[in-house]
Chain A
Amino acid sequence: MADIDWSVFRVSLQVATLATVACVLLGTPIAWWIARARPVLGGMLSALALLPLVLPPVSVGYYLLYTLGRQSGVGRWLVDDAGLRLVFTWWGAGLAAAVVALPLFVRTAQAGFEQIPPSLLDVGATLASPRRRFLRVVLPLAWPSLAAATLIAFARAIGEFGATVVVAGSIPGQTRTVPAAIYEAVQAGRHGTANALALLTLAGGLLVLVALTAALRRARHA
């Protein structure tokens, strides 16, 4: 185990945390919007939000690489005007992981929102402003599903390889995540290292699974 570069765990946690925060901030309003939209519109939005799920993560990474790089208008603005260089940074990797994890977050959160009885939302609308209703009625009633969605997004983000490696590469100490390190180790024939890293991800995965099961159980009994 001597040749393990422990920084990969730090990078992985950074990437997954950033991705999860982005999913929660972006995915919660999207999920609420889909859950409350009319059936046709909701279906379309839902399909759009699911797109990254059916794309190979490498394709997602490729599109992001293109969008964030200077060859696109968005990228030029980001790099030249906003001074944000995301390509080949852990921020870029976090963004890529967020895009891949977002559909799973939205799906799970949406199911939680849709479970709230409509009459509670209606009563809420007659008693409070939309913002207060969301904070005091919707969020408390949907929180087990939101917690489950957050865990799923985190688990998906920490395991992401294809999209992150295309956008951010695998620079040791900077953008090399645990999955990237396993890939490198296998490529280099260092099977002992690959095995050790994989075992650690298994242990971490089991922990997330326990938490997820608990959250889902709460969601069902909510």
Chain B
Amino acid sequence: MTAAPAAAPLVSADFRLALGAFSLEFALEMQQETVVIFGPSGSGKSITLRAIAGLLRPDTGRIDIQGASMFDAARGVDVAPHLRPAAWVPQDLGLFPHLSVMENVLFGMPAAPDRERRARALLALTGVEALASRRPRTISGGQAQRVALARALARETPLLLLDEPFSALDEAIRDGLRRELRRLRRDLGRGAIFVTHDLREAYLLADRLVVLVDGRVRQSGPPDEPFLRPADREVATLMGFRNVYRAEVVAHGPDSVEVDFGGRRWRAASWAGEHAPPVGAAVDVGIRAERVALRRVPASEVESPNGVSATLVEDDGYGLHHLLRFQAPGDLSVEVDLPARPYSVLGVDAQREWTLELAPEDLHVMPATRSA
């Protein structure tokens, strides 16, 4: 590949692609980091990855890797997949069944006298050296995953494109592999774009999280950004916000805004974007179920400005935690996620009436979307 100018980002892409009724608009600038594309099924994650790998041709736009043009609709550039400095791992891994593990890894390696030794070293790195002579059919899913990763690394490209590579595996194996991937990424110093619809996985692996919905990038930033400060109701819901309410901004404080929700006044200290929405603006306010606190004292005695007296109406136990649903006057429903330990310490099962505290820093304000 052409030598990159020092300042060029690892990937710089901005393209559109239509496939039947579906259309994708994607833009990304990334350095040597791990970008996780997160979104529900059918949001265009795999298509994005395939376009960057060169397996799908965008209709317009451009894709640069390390400053070199891989695709440019305006200039008619479209570099063949095998000439792009990127290694792609599909969801089903795509190990060649007629080749041994070793031959699979060697397949994409540039010709060099020591390639066999380096392939062996990569298999050792991913912990499957002992399987070198086996056929993919005879190894387990977790092992196949490691082989696929070794084969991708063997390309010695600066960019890895990983399409939900852990999706077919048990949770326990996934966990181990994620941790290993983080280690590998650190040790090898390569950039990666990782696609997943698993929120935990996304949060764990991402230096940067790109939230893709219906073929549009809805939010992009450090994982805490969409996770704690989602751009809108839809992103919030994807990020696991169980409580989102339509409200109106009624006043601005120094570091907070006051919102009105059906006659209730709450103070919120978190909002999407640079500036808090103006007074009078319709907004969605949300709080994660894990961030709602339970108090025994009456709402009037709670120090926080946002106390709500509510009745426990549903209690679903999930072993290590409980998902509680509270109902308050004015048709206010609040879900609370409580770990088993505080659940038993507080004696939640012995009492119906509680005070919920919605801390201002956890109450997040977003511009209202139409689908309220």
* Residues in A lying within 8 Å of B, measured CB to CB: 117, 119-120, 122-130, 136-137, 140-141
Contact = CB atoms under 8 A, between A and B. Distances in A.
Given A125-B81, A129-B82, A119 B90 contact: yes
Interface of B: 50, 53-55, 80-82, 84, 86-88, 90-94, 96-98, 107-108, 151, 155
Given A127-B108, A128-B82, A140 B98 contact: yes
Residue among A117, A122, A127 facing the most chain B CB atoms (10 A cut-off)? A127
A123 B88 contact: yes
Nearest to A143: B98
Given A128-B82, A128-B108, A129-B82, A123 B98 contact: no
Given A123-B90, A123-B96, A141-B97, 4 more contacts: A117-B94, A122-B55, A127-B107, A130-B80
B94 A120 contact: yes
Contact of A122 (B87, B90, B108): B90
Contacts, number: 53
Contacts of B108: 126-128
Contacts of B94: 117, 119-120, 122-123
A119 B144 CA distance: 15
B163 to A, nearest CB: 9
Contacts of B155: 127
Contact of B81 (A119, A120, A126, A140): A126
A123 B87 CA distance: 9
Contact of B107 (A125, A129, A130, A136): A136
A126 B54 contact: yes
Contacts of B54: 125-126
26 contacts: A119-B90, A119-B91, A119-B93, A122-B50, A122-B94, A123-B88, A123-B90, A123-B94, A124-B96, A125-B55, A125-B82, A126-B53, A126-B55, A126-B81, A126-B84, A126-B86, A126-B88, A127-B108, A127-B151, A128-B108, A129-B80, A136-B107, A140-B98, A141-B96, A141-B97, A141-B98
Contacts of A127: 82, 107-108, 151, 155
A219 to B, nearest CB: 14
Nearest to A120: B94
A119 B53 CA distance: 13
Contacts of B87: 126
A133 to B, nearest CB: 8
A92 to B, nearest CB: 40
B46 to A, nearest CB: 11
Interface centre among A122, A124, A137, A141 (most CB of B within 10 A): A122
B59 to A, nearest CB: 16
B123 to A, nearest CB: 17
Nearest to B151: A127
Nearest to A129: B82
B115 to A, nearest CB: 13
A152 B92 CA distance: 34
Nearest to A121: B94
A94 to B, nearest CB: 33
A119 B80 CA distance: 16
Given A125-B82, A127-B107, A120 B55 contact: no
B107 A128 contact: yes
A70 B54 CA distance: 50
Which of B81, B88, B91, B97 is packed against the most chain A CB atoms within 10 Å?
Answer: B81
A125 B56 CA distance: 12
B92 A117 contact: yes
